[in-house]
Amino acid sequence: DAMVIQNPRYQVTQFGKPVTLSCSQTLNHNVMYWYQQKSSQAPKLLFHYYDKDFNNEADTPDNFQSRRPNTSFCFLDIRSPGLGDAAMYLCATSRDSHYEQYFGPGTRLTVT
Amino acid sequence: SQKIEQNSEALNIQEGKTATLTCNYTNYSPAYLQWYRQDPGRGPVFLLLIRENEKEKRKERLKVTFDTTLKQSLFHITASQPADSATYLCALPRLGGYQKVTFGTGTKLQVIP
C-alpha cells in the first residue's frame, strides 16, 4: 500500500545532542511537510518542500533544518535539541497545492 | 490575522446519536476546508474536503457543511460508534501560502457505548 513512513517512531535524545528524524513516501507526491505537534495543540508547520524547493516558516527556529535528497525521502535535523523541542513530529505529503495531506504515524521525540 | 476556532472542550455523546462538531474561522475567505481525524499518538487522517461553492458533502456516515456567510463548517457523524472516538481537526488553506494549510486545535469526541 502507498504510504508515508516515519522512523523511528520513538526517539530519545539528550539535551544538545543532534538528532535526525526520517520520512519516506511511496505516493510519489510533490510536496512534503514537517510539522511539530505538542499535546492538545494544532500541528505547527515547520517547513515544506515543493519538489526541491524548500520553504521555511518564519517562526521556525534555526535549530531545525531539513533535507530532501530525492522525491521519496525527507529528513528533519535538530541540531541542538532543547527540552522545549520534545514533541510529536509529523511528516506529511500532498500531491500538489490544495490537495489533502497524507500523514505518517509520527515520531515522538523525548529530550532528557 | 487568520484565526480558526474549534471547541476545545471534549464532546461526549451516546452511541447511535449524531455528533456535530464546529469549525469557525475569521478574517478570511477560504476556497476550501478540510477535516481530519487524529487518534492518540498517531498522525491525522484526511476525511473530507469541501469547496466554497459546495454547501454540503457526504461520505458514508459523515457529512460536512460549509457556510461562507457564517464563516463556519459543521462536521456531522451520524449513528456514531465508539470507534468514532478521536480528535477531529479542521484545516484551511493558509492566507498567501500556496501549498500550506492551518490546522485548528481539534475537538475530542468521545462516543459512549
pLDDT tens for each residue of chain A, 112 residues long:
669 999 999 999 999 999 999 999 999 999 999 999 999 999 999 999 999 999 999 999 999 999 999 999 999 999 999 999 999 999 999 998 778 999 999 999 999 9
pLDDT of residue B2: 81
* Closest residue of chain A to B35, computed from CA coordinates: A100
Question: At B44, which CATH number?
Answer: 2.60.40.10
Kind of pairing between the strands at A64-67 and A73-78: antiparallel
Residue B81: which domain range? 3-112
CB pairs under 8 A between A and B: 54
Chain A positions touching B42 (Cβ under 8 A) are 105-106
- Contact between A4 and A74 (Cβ < 8 Å): no
Which of B43, B89, B91 is the closest to A105 by Cβ?
A: B43
pLDDT of residue A2: 65
Task: Note the pLDDT tens digit of each residue in B86-95.
Answer: 999 999 998 7
pLDDT of residue A55: 92
Cell numbers found for residue A53: 524547493
Q: Indicate if the pLDDT at residue B96 is higher than 80.
A: no
**Structural domains of chain A, ranges and CATH numbers in brackets:** 4-105 (2.60.40.10)
Tell me what the mean pLDDT of segment B16-20 comes to: 97
pLDDT: is B39 or B27 the higher one?
B39
Please state, for a pLDDT cut of 70, what percent of chain B lies above it: 97
pLDDT of residue B99: 76
pLDDT of residue B97: 64
b (16+ CB within 10 A) / e for A75-93: bbebeebeeebbbbbbbbb
pLDDT of residue B1: 77
Q: How many domains does the structure of chain B reveal?
A: 1
Q: Indicate if the pLDDT at residue B18 is higher than 90.
A: yes
Cell numbers found for residue B103: 490546522
CA distance B80 to chain A (A): 23
Cell numbers found for residue B66: 460549509
Query: Is B102 an 8 Å CB contact of chain A?
Result: yes
pLDDT of residue A1: 66
Q: Indicate if the pLDDT at residue B24 is higher than 70.
A: yes
* Closest residue of chain A to B99, computed from CA coordinates: A97
